[in-house]
Amino acid sequence: MKSGSIMGLFFAESSLLAVGGIIIGWVLGAILVIYFTIAGFSLADFGVTGILLGDRIYTHLTIQATVTLTILAFVVTLLAALYPARLAANMEPVTALHGGGK
């Protein structure tokens, strides 16, 4: 395979992992946001009372924050895949099969 094809495979795998992680994050995040919107987060457990805040903090999630964090997570995942993809693309196949030149 050519180095461009190898890098493409790394980015395709990273994209699939990113999408899977984002979907799991949406589900878990939605559950937590719904819970903390109803119940709130108690500050009294940490000994923080008597300031300008109440005893509880309630969540508020916007679509803009969701979209921004989704794009950020996807971009960070692809940037994290750049280094290993370049290493794999520049490595000789025989060297890679024998342990990556360790």
For residue 97, being part of any structural domain is answered with no
Confidence of residue 8 (pLDDT cuts 50, 70, 90): confident
Answer yes or no: are the C-beta atoms of 44 and 55 closer than 8 Å.
yes
Distance of CA 16 to the CA centre of its chain: 12
Number of domains in the chain: 1
27: Cβ contacts below 8 Å, ≥ 6 apart: none
For residue 11, being part of any structural domain is answered with yes
Q: Tell me, what's the pLDDT at 57?
A: 83
For residue 101, being part of any structural domain is answered with no
Q: Tell me, what's the pLDDT at 53?
A: 65
CA–CA distance from 77 to each of 19, 41, 72, 74 (Å)? 10, 30, 9, 5
Stronger pLDDT, 101 or 87, i.e. the higher one: 87
* Kind plus residue range of the DSSP H or E element containing 57: strand 56-57
Q: Tell me, what's the pLDDT at 87?
A: 85
pLDDT, tens digit, 9 for 90 and up, residues 42-96? 777 676 666 666 778 888 889 999 999 999 999 999 999 998 888 888 877 666 6
80: Cβ contacts below 8 Å, ≥ 6 apart: 14
For residue 99, being part of any structural domain is answered with no
For residue 64, being part of any structural domain is answered with yes
Structural domain that includes position 34: 3-92
